[in-house]
Each structure stands twice: as structure tokens, then as C-alpha cells.
């Protein structure tokens, strides 16, 4: 036996055990899961990058005036104004796809009509909506812009299967008004309707205590009465007639029909029948949409089989940039919606702290030579209005000229912030004035007890510790305190107006008392300086600042669609408005009972114009 055979046998350092079926199964399962998880993370990351890249590109293309759209030669601007028209609207990137359409901003509509007049590619405008979803002053701005467009020598044709009153008012600017032979034309005058909630409040056993100054301050009437007071009826009658006179005057001028004849047609509902509308010269021809397009083709020298290059408002607005380059600037600051205290989104109203921050940016800019304050507000918080008034005073102290341009409303708190301007321009059918204040305190004690079965007891360290909590009516001392606050704020309000408008306090009080005035009537009593548009206000601001070459900048900077995706704004009100439609104002009236806090400088009614 050899020596090597006597060496001891070494065992391996590691001897792998055979893999059991169970272990092999779990190894495959866990490996697959980890691989799938890793692949999912990588894929999700790639898709996220691609998604935000695509959204960013689309959103960038959705910005107004970005020059991303190309308009063909021999085009016609197609205006459908049936959607709700806001002061400013955010364009969505999906407007070009089916079932989506652009939100309409008054600023975009006016800019597009103005640009189209000098755009060689645009040969005319085609109005193709039966209605126009806007308030009277906004409609007036669009009407006047279209009448200015006609001076360019280009055509405007209007066609509809039927015309609502607002739609016909806009269509009256056209060279030719065309109507479907089986259609109708709704022309019957204005009716202002106010909904009263007193009987509902009584049935619910809710007590509403109101404190006001001003015999016309009828904001509280719907909650304590079941019909208009005589003072309210007086102002509403004047408002309705002033606004209707504006409409009939404009239609008379463009259609060459006397105002008396127009009122006769409205009184007897003559135009509702298409044949009568033609006979009374309210329309020029009865035809179908194909016939209307054939007439447009003839104006464009197109053949019968050629297509018309229609360009929508949303697409056209993206084809041009109206801004100009200049070191000197005129700032347009928008104040739209009800006035609130504190901070909030401009999409929801005028929040004093947020608004002041934006307004301050404008007057702190050395390149800004003047400011146009564009107001479309029925008012709101009296304290917030006073704080904004003070900021306008600071702008004037800084050497800035301030011109107010009034939209549909500049009433109560809206007028409070307007009165400190160097110059005020309004439309003839702007609702303004309403110089008055009020407070409204509901008590739900009887409602809770009699309707719900809830009673409330209390302990308190002081007699008025539970003041204003809504669970009991105010006592005499609390009412006296509240009335004193109302009187103090009304005195300050009238003093502010007197100072801004160079009037005596007594003169302001005589036209105040909460009374609402149309812009046309407001000139004669000194509340407004001139009738005109926002363009007129910009020109006046430049004149007062003594500048001729200037660029226009806008505040607040308008949010784009992409950034709106990440806002935490509450969209509940918008959803309710969309759901209730024309009945929204019923909900809004009840909601005001529950939500109003403090003393209000607010327009004295929610008006529904029929």
C-alpha cells in the first residue's frame, strides 16, 4: 500500500444540499415578483415622464396668443357665443377635439374681433349661435366690437334656426340676418325677476334679523318679504327700461327700424313667427344653413364644391399675439366676483389680501405708468372693500393714475373700490351705485326645536358670550350695537364716494340709500364719467399718464390649464351650478343666508333677466 493512500480524506468546505421542490417554487415566485415590481416602477416612471411631457406641450399650445395655430388664407371667423361668457377664461388643450369646446373669455372675444378686422387672412365673420350667454354690459361690448369690425369693409353674416333675445341682439350687427323658415325670433322685452324666500323661511321656522341703512338696500327683502317694496319696484322699473332702451337703440341703428316699431313688435310677439320676422324686417332672408354657407361662398368667390375655411374663436385666438413691446406699460388689474376678506383664488372672487398683493405688483412697477381697474362685482364684505380702497389710495400716492372700467356690475362694494379712481368708465347697461350697507343674522333655534327636535341649553360667563352663533335671536343691545356698526360703515362709505367723486356727503346720500343705477343714468348723477369700453379705459389711462407708446400687462397673471390641474380649489359650487342650471339662483339665495358674515356692501338683489 502506497503512502499516499494512507492520507486522510478531506471533506469539501461547503456541500450544497439538493434543492427541494418547495424551495425552488418560492425562489421562482419571489424572483418573478421582484422582477415585475422593478419593471413596473421603471415603466410607470417612463409613462409619467411621457405624460407630463405631452400635457406640457399641449398646455403650452393652449395658451392664448401663443401663435401655435396657423390660419389659412380666405378664412372666415366663426363665432358661437352660446357658452357662458366670463371676463377671462382658461383655455383647455382639448378644445380642438370632438365634444370639447373652448371656454369663452370676454377678453379673448374682443381681442379676436379686433384683430380679425386687420387680418388679411380673415374675410368676414359668421355668427352661428341662437343665444349669447352673457349679461347686458358684456353683450354691449361684443356688439360694439362687431360694429367696429364692419367699418373694415369685411362682411358679417348671421344664421340660426331660431334666435333668443340676446342672440338676436348680437346678430343685429350683421350685414345679413338669416333665419330658418321653420324657426322663430324671440323678441319680447326685458323682465327682471327676483325670487323671495320668506315663506320658505317661515315654513322652516328660521328667524332672520336684518339691519340696514338705505331705503333701497333691498338685498334683504327676499328674506323678510314676499314681494318687492315700492322703493325696490321703482328702481327695478327704471333699470329694466334703461337696459331695454339700450338694446332697442342699438338694433334700431343697425336695422333701420324705429324704436317705436321695435317695441310694437315686442309687445305683440310679432317676430316669433319666421314669416312675420321677415315681413317686419327683423331678418333679411329665410333659408337653411346650406343656403347661408352658399352665400358665404359667393362672398369668398368659392365654387359650389369648395370648402369654407371656417376658423373657430378658440383656434383663432391662438394664432396671434396682440401684445406690443414697450418699456412703458399700462396695467389692467381684474377685480371679478364677490368681495371677500382674506386670501383666496381669483377664480372664486375678489379676496382682499390676494387682490391687494396683485394690485401692489402693478403700482410698485416703475414701468407701469397707469392702472386700469376692471371691475365686475356686485360687492360683498365692507371691510374688504375699505382695505382695497386704501390700497388704491397708495397707488395714487405713488404717482399712478387709476381708471376704472366697469363690466356687468360695479355695485355696492364694487363701487366702493371704484370711487377712488381718477376716472370711471361704464357701459350704459352696467349696474352700479348701490351705496348702502346691511347685515343679516339668521337664528335657527326654532328650526332645530320644531323641525328637527334639537334643543340647546347654555352656560356663559357674560351676557353676550354666544352673540351671533345662530342659535338664538339677537337681543336689543346686540341689535343696537349692530345698527351702530352699519351706520358707521355707511357714513364711511358715503365719505369715500364724496371724496373720490368731488361731491358733498349730502349729495352722495341723496343718490345712495342702496339704490342701483344703470351706467347711462349714473353719468347724470356724477357716479360715472363716461360711457365706453375697456379699450376706452386703457386709452384714457394712457392719456392721463401722458404716454402714447405703451404695452398692456394684466394682473393677476392668468393661470394656464396645466397649473389648474394641481390647484386645491373647491369645485363644489361649479358642480352645483352646472347641475342646477337656470335654477342655481334658488340655491344661491338660500346659501347666502347661511354664509354671509359681518356687514355687507352688496348689490341689493340677484337679478334673473328674462
pLDDT tens-digit readout, 520-570: 999 999 999 999 999 999 999 999 999 999 999 999 987 655 555 544 444
| Within-domain flag for 464 | yes
Co-location of 459 and 311 in the same domain = no
Q: How far apart are CA 433 and CA 411, in angstroms?
A: 5
| 11 part of the active site | no
H or E stretch at 165: helix 165-171
User: Domain ends where: 259, 293, 317?
Assistant: 317
Report CA torsion sign: 337, 519, 426, 282: positive
Q: Mean pLDDT across the chain, nearest whole number?
A: 84
Of 85-94, 108-117, 354-363, the range with the lowest mean pLDDT is: 85-94
- 438: β partners: 212, 600
Q: How far apart are CA 224 and CA 455, in angstroms?
A: 25
CATH number at residue 467: 3.90.226.10
Of 374-378, 422-426, 438-442, the range with the lowest mean pLDDT is: 438-442
| Within-domain flag for 518 | yes
Question: Annotated catalytic residue: which of 78, 154, 217, 369?
Answer: 217
Contact present, 333 and 402 (Cβ < 8 Å):
no
Bond prior to 594 in cis (omega within 30° of 0):
no
Whether 425 shows a pLDDT value over 90: the answer reads yes
Co-location of 453 and 340 in the same domain = yes
Q: 491 falls in which pLDDT band (50, 70, 90)?
A: very high
Give residue 2's pLDDT.
45
Give residue 97's pLDDT.
46
Co-location of 546 and 519 in the same domain = yes
The cell for 539 is 386709452
Q: 506 falls in which pLDDT band (50, 70, 90)?
A: very high
Give residue 4's pLDDT.
46
Q: How far apart are CA 535 and CA 110, in angstroms?
A: 10
Co-location of 277 and 400 in the same domain = no
Co-location of 312 and 356 in the same domain = no
Q: 275 falls in which pLDDT band (50, 70, 90)?
A: very high
Alpha-carbon distances of 295 from 183, 313, 560, 564, rounded to whole Å? 19, 21, 39, 42
User: Domain ends where: 287, 317, 347?
Assistant: 317
pLDDT digits (tens, 9 = 90+) for 14-52: 455 566 666 665 666 666 667 667 677 777 777 666 655
| Within-domain flag for 199 | no
Q: How far apart are CA 23 and CA 202, in angstroms?
A: 77
Helix (H, G, I), strand (E, B), or coil: what is residue 173?
coil
| Within-domain flag for 428 | yes
Give residue 442's pLDDT.
84
Co-location of 364 and 491 in the same domain = yes
Co-location of 335 and 446 in the same domain = yes
| Within-domain flag for 440 | yes
| Within-domain flag for 435 | yes
Q: Give me the number of domains the chain comprises.
A: 2
565 Cα distance to chain centroid: 20
Co-location of 304 and 415 in the same domain = no
Co-location of 139 and 282 in the same domain = yes
| Within-domain flag for 208 | no
Whether 157 shows a pLDDT value over 80: the answer reads yes
User: Domain ends where: 258, 286, 317?
Assistant: 317
Q: 461 falls in which pLDDT band (50, 70, 90)?
A: very high
Give residue 42's pLDDT.
77
Burial of residue 392 (CB within 10 Å: 0-12, 13-18, 19+) is buried
Co-location of 447 and 516 in the same domain = yes
Q: What is the pTM of this model?
A: 0.81
Co-location of 490 and 356 in the same domain = yes
Co-location of 311 and 341 in the same domain = no
Burial of residue 328 (CB within 10 Å: 0-12, 13-18, 19+) is middle
Question: Annotated catalytic residue: which of 412, 434, 443, 533?
Answer: 412
* Backbone angles phi and psi of 508, in degrees to 5: -65, -45
For residue 151, what are the domain limits?
75-188+269-317
| Within-domain flag for 589 | yes
| 217 part of the active site | yes
Q: 101 falls in which pLDDT band (50, 70, 90)?
A: very low
Amino acid at each position: 500500500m502506497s503512502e499516499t493512500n494512507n492520507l486522510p480524506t478531506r471533506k469539501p468546505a461547503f456541500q450544497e444540499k439538493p434543492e427541494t421542490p418547495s424551495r425552488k417554487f418560492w425562489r421562482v415566485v419571489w424572483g418573478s415578483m421582484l422582477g415585475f415590481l422593478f419593471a413596473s416602477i421603471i415603466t410607470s416612471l417612463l409613462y409619467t415622464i411621457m405624460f407630463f411631457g405631452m400635457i406640457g406641450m399641449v398646455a403650452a399650445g393652449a395658451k392664448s396668443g401663443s401663435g401655435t395655430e396657423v390660419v389659412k388664407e380666405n378664412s372666415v371667423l366663426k363665432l358661437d357665443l352660446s357658452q357662458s361668457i366670463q371676463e377671462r377664461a382658461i383655455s383647455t388643450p382639448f378644445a380642438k377635439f370632438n365634444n370639447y369646446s373652448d371656454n369663452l373669455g370676454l377678453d379673448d372675444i374682443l381681442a379676436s374681433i379686433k384683430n380679425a378686422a386687420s387680418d388679411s387672412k380673415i374675410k368676414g365673420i359668421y355668427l352661428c349661435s341662437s343665444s349669447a350667454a352673457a349679461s347686458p354690459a358684456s353683450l354691449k361690448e361684443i356688439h360694439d366690437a362687431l360694429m367696429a369690425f364692419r367699418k373694415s369693409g369685411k362682411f358679417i353674416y348671421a344664421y340660426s334656426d331660431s334666435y333668443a333675445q340676446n342672440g338676436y341682439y348680437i346678430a343685429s350687427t350683421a350685414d345679413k340676418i338669416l333665419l330658418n323658415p321653420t324657426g322663430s325670433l324671440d323678441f319680447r322685452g326685458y323682465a327682471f325677476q327676483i325670487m323671495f324666500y320668506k315663506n320658505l323661511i317661515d315654513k322652516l321656522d328660521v328667524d332672520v334679523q336684518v339691519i340696514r341703512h338705505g331705503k333701497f338696500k333691498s338685498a334683504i327683502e327676499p328674506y323678510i318679504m314676499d314681494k318687492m317694496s315700492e322703493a325696490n319696484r321703482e328702481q327695478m322699473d327704471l333699470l329694466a327700461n334703461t337696459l331695454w332702451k339700450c338694446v332697442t337703440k342699438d338694433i334700431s341703428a343697425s336695422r333701420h327700424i324705429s324704436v317705436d316699431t321695435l317695441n310694437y313688435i315686442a309687445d305683440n310677439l310679432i317676430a316669433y313667427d319666421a314669416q312675420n320676422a321677415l315681413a317686419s324686417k327683423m331678418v333679411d332672408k329665410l333659408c337653411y344653413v346650406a343656403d347661408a354657407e352658399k352665400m358665404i361662398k359667393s362672398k369668398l368667390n368659392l365654387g359650389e364644391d369648395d370648402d369654407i375655411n371656417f376658423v373657430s374663436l378658440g383656434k383663432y385666438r391662438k394664432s396671434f399675439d396682440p401684445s406690443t413691446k414697450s418699456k412703458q406699460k399700462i396695467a389692467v388689474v381684474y377685480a371679478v366676483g364677490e368681495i371677500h376678506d382674506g386670501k383666496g383664488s381669483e377664480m372664486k372672487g375678489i379676496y382682499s389680501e390676494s387682490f391687494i398683493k396683485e394690485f401692489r405688483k402693478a403700482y410698485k412697477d416703475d414701468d407701469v405708468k397707469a392702472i386700469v381697474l376692471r371691475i365686475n362685482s356686485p360687492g360683498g364684505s365692507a371691510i374688504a372693500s375699505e382695505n382695497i380702497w386704501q390700497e388704491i389710495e397708495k397707488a395714487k400716492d405713488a404717482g399712478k393714475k387709476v381708471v376704472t372700467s366697469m363690466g356687468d356690475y360695479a355695485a355696492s362694494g364694487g363701487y366702493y373700490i371704484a370711487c377712488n379712481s381718477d376716472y370711471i368708465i361704464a357701459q350704459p347697461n352696467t349696474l352700479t351705485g348701490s351705496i348702502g350697507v346691511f347685515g343679516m343674522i339668521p337664528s335657527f333655534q326654532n328650526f332645530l326645536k320644531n323641525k328637527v327636535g334639537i334643543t340647546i341649553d347654555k352656560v356663559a360667563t357674560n351676557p353676550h358670550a354666544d352673540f351671533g352663533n345662530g342659535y338664538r335671536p339677537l337681543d336689543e343691545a346686540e341689535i343696537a350695537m349692530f345698527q351702530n356698526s352699519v351706520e358707521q360703515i355707511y357714513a364711511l362709505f358715503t365719505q369715500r364716494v364724496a371724496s373720490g367723486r368731488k361731491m358733498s356727503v349730502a349729495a352722495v346720500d341723496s343718490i345712495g340709500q342702496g339704490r342701483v343705477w344703470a351706467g347711462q343714468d349714473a353719468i347724470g348723477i356724477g357716479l360715472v364719467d363716461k360711457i365706453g369700453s375697456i379699450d376706452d379705459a386703457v386709452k384714457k389711462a394712457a392719456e392721463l399718464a401722458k404716454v402714447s407708446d405703451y404695452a398692456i400687462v394684466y394682473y393677476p397673471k392668468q393661470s394656464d390649464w396645466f397649473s389648474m390641474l394641481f390647484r386645491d380649489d373647491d369645485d363644489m359650487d361649479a358642480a352645483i351650478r352646472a347641475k342646477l342650471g337656470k335654477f342655481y339662483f334658488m340655491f344661491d339665495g338660500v346659501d347666502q343666508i347661511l354664509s354671509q358674515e359681518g356687514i355687507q356692501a352688496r348689490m341689493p338683489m340677484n337679478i334673473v333677466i328674462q
